[in-house]
Chain A
Amino acid sequence: MSILVDKHTRLVVQGITGHVGSFETRLMLQAVTSVVAGVTPGRAGQNVEGVPVFDTMQEAVDTRGANTSIIFVPPAHAAGAILEAAGSGVGLVVCVTEGIPVKDMVQVFGSLEGTGVRLVGPNCPGITTPGQARVGIMPDPIFVPGSVGVVSRSGTLTYEVVDALSRQGIGQSTCVGIGGDPLIGTTFIDALELFEQDPQTRAMVLVGEIGGTAEQEAAEYIKEYVSKPVVGYVVGISAPPGKTMGHAGAIISGGGGTAKEKIEALAGAGVTVAESPEDVAGKMKELI
């Protein structure tokens, strides 16, 4: 078991003929992911890394029986790509694209309401279930199959944490990058809920950062509903307020955006708080 993606995942790559889309398709195939189709309007009939390309999501899903899509479409067209995927019959849409206007995402979330389609991202590194599926851009060699679930707002910092876990001999069930934008689909709480229900997952790591109050909401949820041990790591204790720190969502503004408040909330919910990726691995080792 695992969450969201596994060996039953049948993936469509939206934007497969682009530079990043084709490069990442090769890496996903190498990481034993079943990439069954690609979509780029006007490119039907072509092949990328042996994967057939279709004009529309509907054709790709109908012809190849896909159940998941990943989006590498430029920001101006990404919202449209999400909606096209949501209407095509796939249950999970992962959007890697960074730089989608917030207003477009407000409209997307309005349209997704009630459809039952799950969105991960945007501006996220995707999802990896080691040895089964890599739906995203995470470096596959750092992963080891195992029983720790990882959920994170970050990219490279997630890789650091996974790498530290693997070097300590702690494998991962699934690693979910939920994205660094202010508006995202799948939240910490959604991922924690899935990990709590997943029999393979024995413990979880939550990696957060400044901006918004998602970590505090996760803390409240953990207190009520999570029985498995959680290690939390929040970065940005030294970040100045009012400045966007790389990720569009990483800005201390309004109530509750500081790392200190987030760390306190997590500690108050019984989460073991770590201070570095190595510390995450060390504390996890003690817990399991």
Chain B
Amino acid sequence: MRLHEYQSKEIFRQYGISTPGGIVCTTPDEAVRAVEQFGSAAIKAQVLVGGRGKAGGIILATPDSAAKTASRIFGMTIKGLPVTKVLVEERVDILQEFYVAITLDRRSRRPILMASASGGVDIEDFARSSPEQIMMESIDPGQDGLQSHQLMHVAEQLELQDFTDFPELARNLYTIYDDLDCTLAEINPMVLTRTGKLVALDAKLNIDDNALFRQDAMQQLYRQNLADLDPLEVQAKELGMSYVAMEGSIGCIVNGAGLALATLDMITRAGGAPANFMDVRGGADAMHVGRAVEITTSNPATKVLLINMFGGLTLCDEIARGISEKLQGLNIPVVIRLTGTNQEQGWEILRGAKVTVAQSTDEAARIAVEMVS
């Protein structure tokens, strides 16, 4: 689960990490008044996707330009999500910019502190182009977290002109990461101001979905943020399924994440474009499959529905029942590939139904692509 920047910054302040003064606004008028209060400020779209800066969702404003800038940002849709909130933040006098984050290192199976003297960059691109410029310090959770010598080493490498505040900031960031079951705690950029203060200009906290059951405060934020997510994604998640919107026209329902990815790839290789990723998960019953049909077909861009199931824990007759109950209301063609446990019963249920049956994932993808072209 991703938190909004303003929510992450609230948590930062609770844990003693400085942030610029800021006001959350839900209308352009509020944003204008906030800019007037600060004199000169940044208006930052609050959306739950990465890359909002690149998409033009962060703009500097003065009282003169505030009205125009605010209405522009509130009119934006960033990666499918409309901007309904902005954070207006006072301008900070920057001496140096850095990147600091704590995340999980899959290889060592431990958290790591990542830091770079290049702040504000797209860290993923940067990791590819200049990996040697990113410092990494492995964190031993059994050893009480980050050690002083590690922090001194990082501060030296960063060539921080004033590193009085750095050890405490890094330790606080790790405490947040550890206390709240984070998978990422990132400050990009962290800035050193002309007055010698370290300030988190941006803040990004991702929380482990699997740990929400023991993080009451994060659960509350999760519920608060549901309205800011793709409603189809939320509906699927509530049923234990996984839905991700994409840009094409072939809707997909598959059991298993790997097979779902394989299905998307085969559609792409056959010259088509998937409208979504949908993994109904093992053991899905007729109700789940029925809801999956509703969710995927409520995307108006979906022109064909491709259902690909390999029955194991998931039973083919259950799947067929879920599909056949929803076929009546559908006005788009459906391609089905159904194999595995109870497949004969499944096919029997679908006999005479208005569906095209495919024998393999490959064939299903080719038929679906032909249907849209």
Residues of A within 8 A of B361 (CB): 160, 276-277
Does residue A57 face the partner (Cβ distance < 8 Å to B)? no
Q: Mark B241-266, 1 if CB is under 8 A from A, else 0.
A: 01010100000001111111110111
Q: Given known contacts A154-B256, A157-B256, is B124 in contact with A277 (CB within 8 Å)?
A: no
Report whether A101 and B109 are in contact in the complex, using a CB–CB cutoff of 8 Å.
no
Size of the A side of the interface (Cβ < 8 Å), in residues, is 61
Closest to A19 in B: B283
Report whether B258 and A153 are in contact in the complex, using a CB–CB cutoff of 8 Å.
yes
Residues of B within 8 A of A241 (CB): 124
CA distance A155 to B142 in the complex (A): 33
Does residue B312 face the partner (Cβ distance < 8 Å to A)? yes
Residues of B within 8 A of A249 (CB): 106
Does residue A45 face the partner (Cβ distance < 8 Å to B)? no
> Which residues from 208 to 239 on chain A have a C-beta closer than 8 Å to any C-beta of chain B?
209-210, 212-214, 217, 235-239
Residues of A within 8 A of B242 (CB): 244-246
Report whether A159 and B312 are in contact in the complex, using a CB–CB cutoff of 8 Å.
yes
Residues of B within 8 A of A8 (CB): none
Report whether A155 and B256 are in contact in the complex, using a CB–CB cutoff of 8 Å.
yes
Tell me how far the C-beta of B262 lies from the nearest C-beta in chain A, rounded to whole angstroms. Answer: 4
Does residue B141 face the partner (Cβ distance < 8 Å to A)? yes
Q: Mark A139-166, 1 if CB is under 8 A from B, else 0.
A: 1000000000000111111111001000
Residues of A within 8 A of B246 (CB): 238, 240
Report whether B211 and A245 are in contact in the complex, using a CB–CB cutoff of 8 Å.
no
Q: Which of B242, B281, B341 has the most CB of A within 10 A?
A: B242
Closest to B266 in A: A276
Report whether B265 and A237 are in contact in the complex, using a CB–CB cutoff of 8 Å.
yes
Does residue A183 face the partner (Cβ distance < 8 Å to B)? yes
In the complex, how many residue pairs between chain A and chain B have their CB atoms under 8 Å apart? Answer: 169
Report whether A213 and B262 are in contact in the complex, using a CB–CB cutoff of 8 Å.
no
Report whether A245 and B109 are in contact in the complex, using a CB–CB cutoff of 8 Å.
no
Residues of A within 8 A of B30 (CB): none
Report whether B262 and A276 are in contact in the complex, using a CB–CB cutoff of 8 Å.
yes
Report whether B274 and A235 are in contact in the complex, using a CB–CB cutoff of 8 Å.
no
Residues of B within 8 A of A277 (CB): 262, 361
Report whether A105 and B109 are in contact in the complex, using a CB–CB cutoff of 8 Å.
yes
Residues of A within 8 A of B360 (CB): 278
Residues of B within 8 A of A152 (CB): 258
Q: Mark A99-115, 1 if CB is under 8 A from B, else 0.
A: 11111011101100000
> Which residues from 42 to 57 on chain B have a C-beta closer than 8 Å to any C-beta of chain A?
49-51
Closest to A23 in B: B313
Does residue A254 face the partner (Cβ distance < 8 Å to B)? yes
Tell me how far the C-beta of B222 lies from the nearest C-beta in chain A, rounded to whole angstroms. Answer: 15
Q: Given known contacts A75-B210, A102-B211, A154-B256, is B124 in contact with A245 (CB within 8 Å)?
A: no
Does residue B63 face the partner (Cβ distance < 8 Å to A)? no
- 17 sample A-B contacts, Cβ–Cβ < 8 Å, listed by A number: A101-B214, A103-B211, A110-B140, A139-B340, A154-B257, A157-B256, A157-B259, A158-B258, A212-B106, A235-B261, A237-B269, A239-B261, A240-B244, A242-B51, A244-B242, A245-B242, A276-B361
Residue positions of A touching B, CB distance < 8 A: 20, 75-76, 99-103, 105-107, 109-110, 137-139, 152-160, 163, 180, 182-183, 207, 209-210, 212-214, 217, 235-250, 253-256, 259, 275-278
Residue positions of B touching A, CB distance < 8 A: 49-51, 103-104, 106-107, 109-111, 123-124, 127-128, 131, 140-142, 178, 181, 183, 208-211, 213-214, 242, 244, 246, 254-262, 264-269, 274, 277, 279, 281-283, 310-313, 339-341, 360-362
The 8 A-B pairs of least Cβ separation, nearest first, read A246-B257, A154-B258, A156-B256, A157-B258, A246-B279, A101-B211, A255-B127, A235-B261
